[in-house]
Amino acid sequence: MRKVLVTGGAGFIGSHFIRHILTQHDGYEVVNLDKLTYAGNPDNLLDIEGGPLAKRYRFVKGDICDPELVGQLIGEVDAVVNFAAESHVDRSLLEPAPFIQTDVYGTYCLLSAVAEASGRIERVLHISTDEVYGEVPAPRRSKEDDPLHPRSPYSASKAGGDMQCIAFIEIHRLPVVIARPCNNIGPNQYPEKMAPLFISNALDDQPLPVYGDGRQVRDWLFVKDNCEALDLLLHGGARGEVYNVGAGNERPNMDVVEGILDLLGKPRSLIRFVEDRPGHDRRYALDFEKIRALGWSPRHDFAASLEKTVAWYVDNRQWWEKIKSGAFRAYYEKQYGARLASARSAPPANA
């Protein structure tokens, strides 16, 4: 494997993955196909474009739903890693269509182009999510062969992408591996997701809008650990297999919120309990013994992941201020305006 097509590489995880691949694999080349939606940010790759790795990196602005462009790029590479997606649950509740378009149809377009490349592509690594399993009650952890119970337009679309992969594995014997990581945390995450939204709001002494009672549980994986796992799956995952990528850092949201405030020395009075997200999954938790058996385990515990993340947002104010001063404002008002107007300073009693 020498040349990899990474889709969605201008986003959060994809940009870290590109940096990881170029620094860890001498001689590898990366083509980054990204539509530059609101979440795609060329600033995430400035160090690569302006540095010594630039000669092994090429950016192509385009859509994974464009069969002609995708076919042409597949013709140039040996492997594909598909990060491109609409990725935010709350936006999927406001406007689901782009999720179905990119996360289902876009995945289909990529797989079709690989099928047409007549066995030339060595590996397709498709990035799915733990959310396709739906919520899982404690003490259970989702396993790779569990049924899928998505409940949001985002998770339903991601599950649709996984099903496309499974069909292409069966019918065309494509060398696809599906990764299902848990919630990532780290530098360069668009500040619509909980951690970067709350860190940046707290730095500006703005309220932190906690949905419902804040007792929902997520497993938090440091993004660089995820990149190591995905690298392993790209090179060593078995064809047609699914691999959960968990961290073992399951925490209720309130632990994340309070951890952020404590690290920043900000008061708990910034916390606001707001109207819950419809269909809010109560708990995600992954059994990730299968990837552990390949030799991977996360390097960062919860405290280290949060500390490094908070420190990055403190040190890179200009990165998130640029985003938050633009179109983000209209989204924030739509998503949080009425919620914050009727917010409470204590969790709802009936939760």
Q: Is 44 in the site for ligand TYD (CB under 6 A)?
A: no
Choose which of 53, 79, 174, 210 interacts with ligand TYD (CB under 6 A): 210
Region binding ligand NAD by CB under 6 A among candidate stretches 49-57, 68-76, 181-189, 328-336: 181-189
Q: Is 18 in the site for ligand NAD (CB under 6 A)?
A: no
The sheet that has 242-245: what strands, in order across it? 57-61, 29-34, 3-7, 79-82, 123-127, 176-181, 242-245
Give which of ligand TYD, ligand NAD, none residue 290 binds (C-beta under 5 to 8 Å, depending on kind).
Answer: none
Region binding ligand NAD by CB under 6 A among candidate stretches 19-27, 78-86, 200-208, 271-279: 78-86
Choose which of 90, 106, 216, 219 interacts with ligand NAD (CB under 6 A): 106
Cα–Cα distance measured from residue 70 to residue 334, given in angstroms and rounded to the nearest whole number: 34
Choose which of 5, 6, 8, 125 interacts with ligand NAD (CB under 6 A): 8
Cα–Cα distance measured from residue 62 to residue 224, given in angstroms and rounded to the nearest whole number: 26
Q: Is 83 in the site for ligand NAD (CB under 6 A)?
A: yes
Q: How many residues bind ligand NAD (CB under 6 A)?
A: 31
Give which of ligand NAD, ligand TYD, none residue 153 binds (C-beta under 5 to 8 Å, depending on kind).
Answer: none
Give which of ligand NAD, ligand TYD, none residue 3 binds (C-beta under 5 to 8 Å, depending on kind).
Answer: none
Q: Which residues contact 209 (CB under 8 A, 6 or more apart)?
A: 272, 274, 336, 339, 340, 343
Q: Of 188, 214, 212, 192, give the one whose Cα is nearest residue 201.
A: 192
Q: CA quadruple 106, 111, 116, 120: dihedral positive or negative?
A: positive
Residues annotated as catalytic are 130-131, 154
Cα–Cα distance measured from residue 217 to residue 215, given in angstroms and rounded to the nearest whole number: 6
Q: Which residue, judged by CB position, is nearest to ligand NAD in the bound state?
A: 11
First to last CA, the chain: 51
Amino acid 56 reads: R
Choose which of 21, 197, 221, 323 interacts with ligand TYD (CB under 6 A): 197
Q: Is 136 in the site for ligand TYD (CB under 6 A)?
A: no
Q: Is 218 in the site for ligand TYD (CB under 6 A)?
A: yes
Smallest separation (angstroms) from ligand NAD to the CB of 179: 8
Tokens of 30: 């990366």
Choose which of 7, 44, 92, 183 interacts with ligand TYD (CB under 6 A): 183
Q: Is 190 in the site for ligand NAD (CB under 6 A)?
A: yes
Q: Of 135, 331, 298, give the one whose Cα is nearest residue 222.
A: 298
Q: Is 274 in the site for ligand NAD (CB under 6 A)?
A: no
Region binding ligand NAD by CB under 6 A among candidate stretches 52-60, 183-191, 262-270, 283-291: 183-191
Q: 43 to each of 46, 197, 313, how far by Cα in Å?
A: 5, 18, 14
Give which of ligand TYD, ligand NAD, none residue 37 binds (C-beta under 5 to 8 Å, depending on kind).
Answer: ligand NAD
Choose which of 39, 81, 110, 323 interacts with ligand NAD (CB under 6 A): 39
Binding map of ligand TYD across residues 269-288, x = CB under 6 A, - = no contact = --------x-----------
Positions touching ligand NAD (CB under 6 A) are 7-8, 10-14, 33-37, 39-40, 63-65, 83-87, 102, 106, 127, 129, 158, 181, 183-184, 190
Positions touching ligand TYD (CB under 6 A) are 89-90, 183, 193-194, 197, 209-211, 216, 218, 253, 277
